[in-house]
Amino acid sequence: MPSEPEPATPEEPEDPGTDEPAAPPVRPDAEPMVVVDRLHVTYRVLGAETGSGSSRVRRALRRSRPRPREVHALRGVSFVLHRGEAVGVIGSNGSGKTTLLRSIAGLLPGDRGQVFTCGQPVLLGVNAALMNDLTGERNIVLGCLAMGMPPREVREKYADVVEFSGLGKFVDMPMKTYSTGMAQRLRFAIATAQTSEILMIDEALATGDARFRRRSEDRLKELRDEAATVVLVSHSLGTIEETCDRAIWLDHGRVRMDGPAPEVVAAYRGD
């Protein structure tokens, strides 16, 4: 990761009427697959004021009740993704990339604006919440069902997932007996078992040893070839330039630049 994380800065909500961008432009020559229209997402967190000095802290702790604070993660984001596009999302830590992907996947409601998708997007990496007490086999079945795969497809894909995970006979052992690398491989194998017309990838997903990383990259390439629209979040600008024809630069929850990947990457680098 090239940049240091920017801490979450709780803040007051903005005046909803200010600084609203225009509706996203739609290309007349291409089929829209995802429309994000002036999307705002705010996290609400419970926190208390702190003071300096021990007596002041004690007094404050006694009197204070948790006060909801707000983190305005997306501030009126708009764009349209079309069939056939591979789009990179770049931006410094905390700029809103993950929030944006989760919103498009339908995992996080926006508080203003709208997201329209043509079909159910798949977000690789977040859907497979595995359980330590269950065997690899049970986790594969439940993980695939949890991602919305019909039981017939789970049965069809099961052998491939086991093969790709490289777990061998460990597939019948509880996950808590796996090494970190084995668990990561299983998670990746489950997450990439599903294909979708709209595929969103968090590049951090490709983990493990060098051999598995190469296989992961090949698998991601296959999925990209099968999907109609790909969204890739990455801190690796080289990967964005190689993989994507378009890039969106998010900055403090706003679209700072949206255009051909080489131009956006150059601007982000400060060239």
Ligand X SMILES: Nc1ncnc2c1ncn2[C@@H]1O[C@H](COP(=O)(O)OP(=O)(O)OP(=O)(O)O)[C@@H](O)[C@H]1O
Residues at the interface with ligand X (CB under 6 A)? 5, 8, 43, 45, 71, 73, 91, 93-99
Our CB check for ligand X shows the closer of 94 and 121 to be: 94
Our CB check for ligand X shows the closer of 98 and 192 to be: 98
Our CB check for ligand X shows the closer of 111 and 197 to be: 111
In the complex, the smallest distance separating the C-beta of residue 73 from ligand X, rounded to whole angstroms, is 4
In the complex, the smallest distance separating the C-beta of residue 258 from ligand X, rounded to whole angstroms, is 16
In the complex, the smallest distance separating the C-beta of residue 11 from ligand X, rounded to whole angstroms, is 10
Q: Are 176 and 97 in contact (CB under 8 A)?
A: no
- How many CB atoms are closer than 10 A to CB 187? 23
Our CB check for ligand X shows the closer of 118 and 257 to be: 257
User: Minimal CB distance to ligand X: which residue?
Assistant: 8
In the complex, the smallest distance separating the C-beta of residue 177 from ligand X, rounded to whole angstroms, is 30
Burial class (CB within 10 angstroms; exposed 0-12, middle 13-18, buried 19+) of 32 = middle
Chain center to CA of 174: 28
Q: Which residues pair with 38 in a beta bridge?
A: none
Terminal-to-terminal C-alpha distance of the chain = 19
Q: Which of 235, 262, 209, 256 is nearest to 92 (CA)?
A: 235
Our CB check for ligand X shows the closer of 9 and 177 to be: 9
Going by DSSP bridges, is the β-strand pair 122-124/198-202 parallel, antiparallel, or unpaired?
parallel
Q: In whole angstroms, what is the distance from residue 199 CA to residue 2 CA? A: 25
In the complex, the smallest distance separating the C-beta of residue 103 from ligand X, rounded to whole angstroms, is 9
In the complex, the smallest distance separating the C-beta of residue 5 from ligand X, rounded to whole angstroms, is 5
Question: Taking CA 89 as the corner, what is the angle to CA 86 and CA 247, rounded to the nearest 5 degrees?
Answer: 55
